[in-house]
A and B are shown apart, each in its own frame.
Chain A
């Protein structure tokens, strides 16, 4: 056990820090063109998809190097690259299950953000129970015909392509009738509507499919093998890069400490109030534990151990912690934490942000409510931890009972 960074890692961190100091845009990126140009710059510097094998445009970077880049990007307040979900989920899916032609056609353009991607999984009636999805893909000659609705699709309004889970066999048990397809988001019959979230912003979309035709060659893996394919890559989304999440919380709490010297509470700076100090000490301690736990995961990854169901512990940890941290921040700041317009600069997280824009205390507070829902809710994570880490018996579930009853009934019929 040695928790110090190697000289090599420290030197790498210095190089990343120097590059970011030189290159991070001074002004906020507003247009998609500017965002793509910044993404391309990051890619050319080797900081996008860097953990991927070189043959697919990555750098074969070690988990530690990826973590360092993630942390330093937050530290330098660098805008994130585009296609985050695509890089985390679509590329591994293609590498593991795609055809040679699919890999050549899609991976490079995704990495360079020449094409933007979205992930078409959740539906209005298939959230935690994703496998009950109803969006249909019916084979018609050499094409699939897609009909149905997806929701909570990040960035669908900008996307060129989407990774779709759709039902291709309605007679099979629910996990066995799903396929994974690559969909051109510019196809006729696709309608995208942005959803306004509680933060006032609109990152998520609803996507409606009406007789959308997708060539059969865009099937990933085998027909009806979509659930298994999705399972192998969902844990990428869950494992996440917890160190950069820590870095983001640290940035906020460091700013909160500064604000606490200015903000008066009961006639003295908030930082001198023992109750405030308890809250600050608690959230800082909890954040440090997140950092330690992240280092522990990272060191396992460095040893070549893949995150299994344990990644659910990490996801549960940081998303639930984020809610606690944000609540504490608003406790300490009182009404000032909820003020978006007109908040004095000396009390602001980032001065001058408008409602629904990233950079206010309120925005981070509201977004913490999403983290325990997306990418597998806390309740789903606890099921996974209970059953696959602790080995507890599976719960009695109505859909399993129904499937068993159906199987037994069809078995009886065959006799």
Chain B
């Protein structure tokens, strides 16, 4: 039993922190808020080439696990990094790895690993759901290929990635039956990409409309109609990854608040001397430390294939959703008026955390999932 990071993991965190603080200052983050693509290709390529990737070495990855991804993403949350790392590596890369489709992996991952290819995963459609029932975008055989019709919303960096993995439904089945994964190039005829304008301007998303979009049969990832388990696992990893990023944003907001409470004076004393502020900050620290425990336990459970991995992922997302909301919100309260201004950086973290809160399962979704896992007996030590 060891909850401390290994030396390698500590070095990895140091490497990412140093890289991002040097190459991705907040001035860059703010510049990307107004950029239609939302990220800088050169910076992205250097980031990818840092050696943090989870993919097998044969494709050019570093073979790292979810714990390491959580470390990287936590550091990104502290910036907050604007770019399609999460979309490419965690969402699309996660789905490719989970699909077990070695042909598809060999086709895309080498380019992903050298930074030449960016990807995303298109899941949500008209409503809000994270199970297979969310999917109705239709996939039909068409000659020697496939044709896609339907709509996808909130596709992370959908307006600026090269290839999108689309979760689609083949046939008239319900539930997990018929769920398929198809790789669609962003420039495919019939695909209309409309950028969405979101509260968090550092996280770009797009609506994708598919009208008779044709792709060759080789673009199918995994078995036709049998891709749900891979999508489910990718979403689970995404929930933990998003939690890690939110943890980074929350810890940064806490640090800014503590620093501010030590220098801001009112009524002739530092505001950190008032119990009203001191106790708030203590509560925020408790939330952040608990979020840390939840994120890294879940990441470990995924890596270890623990029987409670699904439970832990849902515990993490529901916990961090609540923690990040409170910590980032209270950070504004501690700062007072300055925290409500555009030029002060606090809102960047507040908005990044809020952006990720409903994605890959909101708090209520994951609490329900926790109960389902417990009732099914998939708890720690049950295997």
For residue B272, which residue of chain A has the nearest CB?
A392
Interface size (A, Cβ < 8 Å)?
49
Whether a CB of chain B sits under 8 angstroms from the CB of A140 is no
- Contact mask B50-87 → A, CB, 8 Å, 1/0? 00000000000000000100000000000000000000
Which of A64, A313, A385 touches B1 (beta carbons < 8 Å)? A64
B interface SS class: helix
Whether a CB of chain B sits under 8 angstroms from the CB of A370 is no
Q: Which residues of B contact A282 (CB under 8 A)?
A: 318, 367, 370
Q: Which residues of A contact B3 (CB under 8 A)?
A: 1, 3, 295-296, 298-300
Check if A6 sits within 8 Å of B1, measured CB to CB: yes
Which of B270, B371, B375 touches A393 (beta carbons < 8 Å)? B270
Check if B283 sits within 8 Å of A1, measured CB to CB: no
Check if A285 sits within 8 Å of B314, measured CB to CB: yes
Whether a CB of chain B sits under 8 angstroms from the CB of A293 is yes
Which of B278, B294, B296, B311 touches A1 (beta carbons < 8 Å)? B296
Whether a CB of chain B sits under 8 angstroms from the CB of A396 is yes
Q: Which of A15-23, A189-197, A273-281 contacts B (4 or more CB under 8 A)?
A: A273-281
Whether a CB of chain A sits under 8 angstroms from the CB of B194 is no
A12: min CB distance to chain B, Å? 12
Check if A2 sits within 8 Å of B300, measured CB to CB: yes
Q: Which of B130-138, B284-292, B346-354 contacts A (4 or more CB under 8 A)?
A: B284-292
Which of B2, B282, B306 touches A385 (beta carbons < 8 Å)? B282
Instruction: Give Cα distance in the complex from A394 to B270, angstroms.
Output: 9
Do A285 and B318 form a contact, CB below 8 Å, given A277-B368, A292-B297, A299-B2?
A: yes
Check if B314 sits within 8 Å of A394, measured CB to CB: no
Whether a CB of chain B sits under 8 angstroms from the CB of A289 is yes
Whether a CB of chain A sits under 8 angstroms from the CB of B274 is yes
Q: Which residues of B contact A389 (CB under 8 A)?
A: 282, 285
Whether a CB of chain B sits under 8 angstroms from the CB of A390 is yes
Residue positions of B touching A, CB distance < 8 A? 1-6, 9, 67, 258, 261-262, 269-270, 272-275, 278-279, 281-283, 285-286, 289-290, 293-294, 296-297, 300-301, 304, 306, 311-312, 314-315, 318-319, 364, 366-371, 374-375, 380
Q: Which residues of A contact B369 (CB under 8 A)?
A: 281
For residue B283, which residue of chain A has the nearest CB?
A382
Check if B258 sits within 8 Å of A392, measured CB to CB: yes
For residue B270, which residue of chain A has the nearest CB?
A393
Which of B1, B9, B275, B286 touches A395 (beta carbons < 8 Å)? B275
Chain A positions 90-119 with a Cβ under 8 Å from a chain B Cβ: none
Which of B272, B311, B366, B367 touches A386 (beta carbons < 8 Å)? B272
Q: Which residues of A contact B380 (CB under 8 A)?
A: 291
Return the 7 tightest CB-CB contacts between A and B, nearest first: A281-B367, A386-B278, A392-B272, A385-B282, A382-B282, A299-B3, A292-B293
Do A288 and B315 form a contact, CB below 8 Å, given A1-B2, A313-B286, A382-B278?
A: yes
Residue positions of A touching B, CB distance < 8 A? 1-6, 9, 64, 257, 271, 274, 277-278, 280-282, 284-286, 288-289, 291-293, 295-296, 298-300, 302-303, 313, 316-317, 379, 381-383, 385-387, 389-396
A127: min CB distance to chain B, Å? 16
Check if B290 sits within 8 Å of A284, measured CB to CB: no
A interface SS class: helix
Do A257 and B374 form a contact, CB below 8 Å, given A278-B364, A392-B273?
A: yes
Check if B364 sits within 8 Å of A316, measured CB to CB: no
Which of A3, A295, A313, A393 touches B304 (beta carbons < 8 Å)? A3
Instruction: Give Cα distance in the complex from A3 to B298, angstroms.
Output: 10
Check if A295 sits within 8 Å of B370, measured CB to CB: no
Instruction: Give Cα distance in the complex from A296 to B3, angstroms.
Output: 5
Check if B2 sits within 8 Å of A395, measured CB to CB: no
Check if B315 sits within 8 Å of A386, measured CB to CB: no
Which of B6, B300, B319, B366 touches A289 (beta carbons < 8 Å)? B319
Do A386 and B2 form a contact, CB below 8 Å, given A277-B371, A392-B262?
A: no
A252: min CB distance to chain B, Å? 14
User: A2-B2, A292-B293, A392-B281 are known contacts; what are 11 more A-B pairs with Cβ within 8 Å?
Assistant: A2-B1, A3-B301, A281-B370, A285-B315, A285-B370, A289-B293, A291-B380, A299-B4, A382-B278, A383-B278, A396-B269
For residue A64, which residue of chain B has the nearest CB?
B1
Q: Which residues of A contact B370 (CB under 8 A)?
A: 281-282, 284-285, 288
Q: Which residues of A contact B300 (CB under 8 A)?
A: 1-3
A205: min CB distance to chain B, Å? 31
Q: Which residues of B contact A387 (CB under 8 A)?
A: 278
Instruction: Give Cα distance in the complex from A391 to B254, angstroms.
Output: 13
B342: min CB distance to chain A, Å? 28
Instruction: Give Cα distance in the complex from A292 to B294, angstroms.
Output: 7
Instruction: Give Cα distance in the complex from A279 to B252, angstroms.
Output: 30
7 chain-A/chain-B pairs, Cβ below 8 angstroms: A285-B366, A291-B380, A292-B297, A298-B1, A313-B286, A386-B279, A387-B278
Check if B290 sits within 8 Å of A4, measured CB to CB: no
Q: Which residues of B contact A381 (CB under 8 A)?
A: 282
Which of A2, A4, A392 touches B278 (beta carbons < 8 Å)? A392
For residue A63, which residue of chain B has the nearest CB?
B1
Instruction: Give Cα distance in the complex from A278 to B273, angstroms.
Output: 38
Q: Which residues of B contact A2 (CB under 8 A)?
A: 1-2, 300, 304
Check if A257 sits within 8 Å of B375, measured CB to CB: yes
B371: min CB distance to chain A, Å? 4
For residue B363, which residue of chain A has the nearest CB?
A282
